[in-house]
Amino acid sequence: MADYDVLVIGAGPAGYVAAIRAAQLGLKTGCVEKWIDDEQKPVYGGTCLNVGCIPSKALLDSSQKYAEASRDFDTHGISVGKVGIDVPAMIARKEKVVKQLTGGIAGLFRANKVTGISGAGKLLKDKQVEVTDHTGKTQTLSADNIILAAGSVPIEIPPTPIDQDVIVDSTGALEFQEVPGRLGVIGAGVIGLELGSVWARLGAEVIVLEAVDAFLPMVDQQIAKEAHKILSKQGLDIRLGAKVTGSTLKKGKGNGVTVTYEDKDGEKKEDFDKLIVCVGRRPFTESLLADDCGVEKDERGYIEVNDDCATSVPGVYAVGDIVRGPMLAHKGSEEGVMVAENIAGHKASMNYDLVPSVIYTHPEIAAVGKTEEQLKEEGVEYNVGAFPFAASGRALAANDSEGLVKILADKATDRVLGCHIIGPSAADLAQTVVVAMEFSTSAEDIGLSVFSHPALCEAVHEAALAVNGRAIHIANRKKK
């Protein structure tokens, strides 16, 4: 008899959610997690809660408040004198938030009768799992069903070896104890822009080096151009087509680094006090699978799964960052729920076409569905409706009126195909459209709904009206 009905390896957003849902469905569930704290106690939440989504958002919020107090309060008639920043206190607050949330997961495990198992899990053949704790002690557990949820780790590149002192990855960038005078960021993706924003707001001179010539190529390009303009105005020096070729640490600990890169004009060099390398993440599948376990990986290290996240071995599933699709916490969580439901005998599925994405700069950038570029490439005829936050009474009252809402709808059926937002509370506004699109809504349906006034969500309403030339608070474009 197996030790567990369900055994999950990894307690990040995909793993801990899968474990909790499986236990709620009456399945005897265990969750293996290797992360431990300074007291050698297990810590749940994975990258997201410990060194990713949550701590970065804590620093983003703290730094945004500092920026507002430094530059924007006088707009509201508020005088505050000279504003200072205590970086260690900001980092300590971040740690407090992390500890509260990771401790909350431990409480949820207890409440739902999930057994937490401390150690690194490795899948063996015949649905056996070897668990090695931090002392090196091993045990072997068995389960009728196994869910692999090992997550991802930052990608390292040879020209800039990480030392977590001067040259850091996204984890190290959350631990600076002072504002760097000059900060280099390699990679103008989600992580690079967010972390660059944190330290630019606090006074660092930030230069972002991006190897490709396009800015945010996966984002709707009208939104990407607006983002480039706004972020540049905020102080991010974004250099596209800049391929980093080498780095040299200056003599003496903490004395900075010289980075060499190439662009269309040839070789160039820049000196930085700190350098953040954030060129993407890769699935963490090494040491997860025994050679004879039967689970197949692709050439990039991702575990191969079908639409239901089942692997090549019956009863073994994989979810989250170690499988195809965007590396997003909410995508992994929903996969975890889907797998738990299916193991319990319920028929569950997931709509991968409606996974929203967010960049938590200020203003936020959020999207769901197709971009205008994708629709053109696919030959889909569509209508566009857009509404600027500069015409939103609520945004103007808050002195936060940069950006716009853009909605794309099928020309023949009016079904909403995509929504793209850069602006205040973009993540929350886009989510309303995610729900609408799940029910195959039309732009007209959104336009016929009643929205609160004054509220930021009115921008979504007006953009939907604009799709069919019915916007009230801006001039409508003539349809072709």
DSSP collapsed to 3 states, 413-465: CCEEEEEEEEECCHHHHHHHHHHHHHCCCEHHHHHHCCCCCCCCCHHHHHHHH
Per residue in 128-173, pLDDT tens?
Answer: 999 999 999 999 999 999 999 999 999 999 999 999 999 999 999 9
pLDDT of 390 above 90 = yes
Look at residue 91 in the predicted model and tell me its pLDDT.
98
Q: Which residues are catalytic?
A: 453
Sequence-separated contacts (24+) of 411-416 with Cβ below 8 Å: 411/381, 411/382, 411/383, 412/381, 413/442, 414/383, 414/442, 414/443, 414/444, 414/467, 414/468, 415/440, 415/441, 415/442, 416/369, 416/441, 416/442, 416/443, 416/446, 416/464
**Phi and psi for 367 in degrees, rounded to 5?**
-155, 155
CB 236 within 8 A of CB 200: yes
Per residue in 439-457, pLDDT tens?
Answer: 999 999 999 999 999 999 9
Distance CA 204, CA 178 (A): 10
pLDDT band at 255 (very low <50, low <70, confident <90, very high): confident
Q: Tell me the DSSP string of 360-396.
A: -SSSEEEEEE--HHHHHHHT--EEEEEEEGGG-HHHH
Q: Return the H-helix or E-strand segment holding 30.
A: strand 29-33
pLDDT band at 38 (very low <50, low <70, confident <90, very high): confident
Helix, coil or strand: residue 315: coil
In the block, residue with structure tokens 């474009």: 477
Distance CA 312, CA 206 (A): 46
CB 260 within 8 A of CB 247: yes
Look at residue 479 in the predicted model and tell me its pLDDT.
64
**Mean pLDDT, residues 308-333 taken together:** 98
Domains and CATH numbers, the chain: 4-154+282-352 (3.50.50.60), 167-279 (3.50.50.60), 363-467 (3.30.390.30)
pLDDT of 480 above 60 = no
**Mean pLDDT, residues 213-220 taken together:** 97
Helix, coil or strand: residue 193: helix
pLDDT of 249 above 60 = yes
pLDDT of 39 above 90 = no
Per residue in 272-291, pLDDT tens?
Answer: 999 999 999 999 998 999 99
Per residue in 89-105, pLDDT tens?
Answer: 999 999 999 999 999 99
pLDDT band at 20 (very low <50, low <70, confident <90, very high): very high
In the block, residue with structure tokens 């997550």: 151
pTM across the whole model = 0.96
State the chain's mean pLDDT as an integer: 97
pLDDT band at 121 (very low <50, low <70, confident <90, very high): very high
CB 171 within 8 A of CB 46: no
Rounded to a whole number of angstroms, the CA Rg of the chain reads 24
Distance CA 344, CA 335 (A): 14
**Mean pLDDT, residues 407-431 taken together:** 98
**Mean pLDDT, residues 305-313 taken together:** 98
Cα 291 to the center of its chain, rounded Å: 31
CB atoms within 10 A of CB 466: 26
pLDDT band at 195 (very low <50, low <70, confident <90, very high): very high
* Closest to 333 in 3D by CA, of 9, 31, 17, 7: 17
Measured CA angle at 399 (ends 396, 405), to 5 deg: 55
Look at residue 41 in the predicted model and tell me its pLDDT.
86
pLDDT band at 437 (very low <50, low <70, confident <90, very high): very high
pLDDT of 252 above 80 = no
Token pair for 123: 């899948």
